[in-house]
Amino acid sequence: MTSAAVPDTLMSALSDHVAAQIGLSLPRERWPDLWRGMCELAGESDAAGSEACLRRLMASPLQREQIETLARHLSVGETYFFREPDTFDALEHEVLVPLIAARRATGLRMLNLWSAGCCTGEETYSLAILLDRLIPDGADWNITLLGTDIHPGFLARAEQGLYGDWSFRGVPADIKTRYFDDLGQGVHAVQPVLKRRVRFGYFNLAEDGDPGWRMDVVLCRNVLMYFKSEKSVQALVQLHRSLVDGGWLVLGAAETPLPAQRGFAKVSSGNALLYRKQPMTAVAPRVAPRSAPAAPRRKSAAPAVHGATMLADRARVHADEGRLAEAERCCKAAIAADKCDPRLHYLHSLILEEAMRLDEAKAALRRALYFGTRFVLGHVALGRLCQRQGERVRAVKHFAKALDLLEREPAGVVLPESDGLSAAQLSAALMARLQEA
């Protein structure tokens, strides 16, 4: 029996049942693949002519083993290293370089990246190669690099790390020779040192629930374009939850741009589709508690505060590009517009530290703490500078104060100026700092 011999109404219902659990849109032209997958689930002897078999499979949710079996027949497996070079170029210069610099400035060397729908692993290893180039002291960092898929065969190949020449099309020869061992006959193995930096595992984007991860960057390229629209929305909610505040989502260049209400703001960068996480008010609105209304702000202060924000953003851009004099000029102008904002004094300290004016940087941090006594990152940065200058007792004092403040915060809350790190992550990093002090 073939799919053509099964009533259209049954095949349509079957495709809807499967799509609801793995997300994939299964139009009529995919029905033969779906039929072969369902026959494998049922066992050839049972599937040999029974619509009853299909109806039994549709009577309950698919189990993980069944989803993995169907994925072998339905997943699209076309990928290669550094696919869509424009996207990787934007990822490097627009996302990773500023993010790594910011983490270095805070002394919290942590980075979490996720390749969702990683297929056979080329994208995940491409990220590992990119990070190796951008972070030469990677051994001193706590980096999570995760690749997930629902196809067990794809994951097995990714874990194995063996690739043919076709996976390297368009890749510079030096990358192949530096990060892969030539095994002959057109087979190349990921070098062990790179392989150890990557983890692979099963994850179904179409399932409900928070994955429990808090990532700085998520790549989900050429995955959602195969999803039914309602499952695409559900997956985006899940991806939004998995990102830290201000975290980045990277989609495939051929995919449909996201509407603004999906909780992401598009960041224009050529052909690349880059998005930053915004508060998910449009998808999951929250009502502010009546017992704690926001204090009204004087209208006369608004233009100055708005100007301070713009100047601070400009200062960050200049600093990222190494133009420290321009960065300091903009930062001072921002402080003049809103001198009571501790974040501006903190930004000033980072610029001064980059310019190796360490005593001035410490003075700027003391001003930040004067205006924000509970400003955790101020204590972290001041402790780090004291440690850098050999003032161990003072360093320990500031680290301990930061830990004390963090203990009063929910573990998952993201602190101001922390680049998306949660209170729990900051606490863990600070404990490591205290051991070094």
Distances from the Cα of 147 to the Cα of 139, 151, 161, 179, angstroms: 20, 12, 13, 18
Instruction: Answer whether residue 346 is part of any domain.
Output: yes
Tell me the pLDDT tens digit for each residue of 209-235.
Answer: 677 788 999 999 988 877 877 788 888
Query: Is the predicted pLDDT of residue 133 greater than 80, yes or no?
Result: yes
What single DSSP character describes residue 227? Answer: B
Mean of the pLDDT values across residues 158-185?
92
Query: Is the predicted pLDDT of residue 395 greater than 80, yes or no?
Result: yes
Do residue 271 and residue 323 come from a single domain?
no
Instruction: Answer whether residue 80 is part of any domain.
Output: no
Mean of the pLDDT values across residues 289-299?
31
pLDDT of res. 290: 27
Tell me the pLDDT tens digit for each residue of 45-83.
Answer: 444 445 666 677 777 777 777 777 777 667 666 688 999
Query: Is the predicted pLDDT of residue 153 greater than 70, yes or no?
Result: yes
Q: What total number of domains does the chain contain?
A: 4
Lowest mean pLDDT among 61-70, 180-189, 289-298, 314-323: 289-298
Of all residues in the chain, what percent are helix, strand and coil, respectively (each to 5)? Answer: 55, 15, 30
Element (H, E) at 267: strand 264-269
Name the domain boundary from 74, 103, 118.
74
Do residue 364 and residue 384 come from a single domain?
no
CB atoms within 10 A of CB 210: 11
Do residue 99 and residue 204 come from a single domain?
yes
pLDDT of res. 437: 58
| Domain carrying residue 56 | 3-74
Do residue 270 and residue 122 come from a single domain?
yes
Do residue 265 and residue 361 come from a single domain?
no
Do residue 127 and residue 30 come from a single domain?
no
Rounded to the nearest 5 degrees, what angle is found at the Cα of 22, between the Cα atoms of 214 and 27? Answer: 135
How far apart are the C-alpha atoms of 123 and 158, rounded to whole Å? 10
Do residue 269 and residue 124 come from a single domain?
yes
How far apart are the C-alpha atoms of 251 and 230, rounded to whole Å? 17
| Residues contacting residue 394 through CB under 8 Å, at least 6 positions apart | 382, 383, 386
Do residue 53 and residue 172 come from a single domain?
no
Do residue 94 and residue 241 come from a single domain?
yes
Write down the pTM of the prediction.
0.61
Do residue 209 and residue 263 come from a single domain?
yes
> Residues, the chain, total?
437
Do residue 57 and residue 90 come from a single domain?
no
The CATH number given to whatever domain includes residue 360 is: 1.25.40.10
How far apart are the C-alpha atoms of 198 and 125, rounded to whole Å? 7
